[in-house]
Amino acid sequence: MIQASEKGGQDFTKYASTFDHSKISVTQKTSSNQQDVVLMMSTQILGFLCMMLLYAAGNLGELILQEKEDGTFYRLMSTPLSSKAYLFGNALFSLAVVVTEVVICLTAMRFVFGIDPGVSYLALFGILFVFSVMAVLLSLALGFTATSRKSVSGLQMILFTLTSLLSGALIPVEIMPAFMQKVAEFLPQYWVMNAITTLQQNGGLASISLNIAIILGYALLFFCIASYKFTKNNRVNSFV
């Protein structure tokens, strides 16, 4: 019937044959590739490392309070050792332990597991080093503020775990509700994770300058709190 309705001498058979022989190729392609999975996995590993760094640095605060309770510091003060030198030495040792933990984790990622985080390992070390300094100063502030070792231990467990969850260090911040994403911006771990993500998206070091400045701002805040609690007590046996 279609052939009968042809006008102008058009050959329906020719067009039908062309349609029958035309093929539409359909290609199935997944939207997420292996590189995206590796980047996401490496980011979450580094987020977990941030929480472990907080716990490692937190031992400094517990050490201060333990020696306060045991009276070890009083015996040390009978030697030609000032309280400031003693506390500075402990803080330096704690920082060395935390930085060693960073080096071991990054080395294992690079040479043992062969993970490519999409970021220079030197840049990762720089970001985590700044965070490590902040973690040690936070531990000092908690150590001078708390009244007992048990109290600072419980406070650290709640504070470190809760902030790591809310900041996106353990779970991606993108899947959180909007109000929790706003809360995350007030936590130092968020700016560490944001800096790593920015570098993974081909951002330069200048693009994370704000992130580094905010982390250093937190470090300065905790240093001021620790210094205030340290100098507020006039007698040695009142603060350690």
* Sequential DSSP letters for 36-81: HHHHHHHHHHHHHHHHHHHHHHHHHHHHHHHHHHHTHHHHHTTSS-
pLDDT tens readout for residues 137-153: 998 888 777 777 777 77
pLDDT confidence tier of residue 78, bands split at 50, 70 and 90: low
Q: Which of 163, 160, 193 is nearest to 59 (CA)?
A: 160
- The token duo for 190 is 């968020």
What integer best gives the mean pLDDT of the chain? 78
CA torsion angle 212 213 216 222 (round to 10): -130
DSSP state of 8: T
Q: How far apart are CA 50 and CA 165, in angstroms?
A: 11
The C-alpha angle 163, 50, 43, rounded to 5 degrees, equals 100
Lowest mean pLDDT among 82-86, 164-168, 200-204: 82-86
Q: What residue spans define the domains of the chain?
A: 34-232
- Residue 222: is it exposed, middle or buried by C-beta count within 10 angstroms (0-12/13-18/19+)? buried
Cα separation values, 223 from 49, 57, 133, Å: 23, 14, 10
Cα separation values, 64 from 58, 139, 236, Å: 10, 10, 13
- The token duo for 15 is 């067009």
Q: Which of 214, 157, 212 is nearest to 165 (CA)?
A: 157
Q: How far apart are CA 87 and CA 97, in angstroms?
A: 15
Q: How far apart are CA 157 and CA 151, in angstroms?
A: 10
- The token duo for 56 is 């490692």
Q: How far apart are CA 115 and CA 44, in angstroms?
A: 12
Write down the H helix ranges in 71-148: 72-76, 83-107, 121-145
Q: Is the pLDDT of residue 234 over 60?
A: no
Q: Is the pLDDT of residue 238 over 70?
A: no
Is pLDDT larger for residue 25 or for residue 119? 119
Q: Is the pLDDT of residue 204 over 70?
A: yes
State which amino acid sits at residue 123.
A
pTM: 0.77
pLDDT tens readout for residues 207-232: 899 999 999 999 999 999 888 877 77
How big, in percent rounded to 5, are the helix, strand and coil portions of the chain? 75, 0, 25
Number of other residues whose CB lies within 10 A of the CB of residue 133: 21
Q: Which of 5-9, 177-181, 227-231 has the highest mean pLDDT?
A: 177-181
Is pLDDT larger for residue 150 or for residue 19? 150
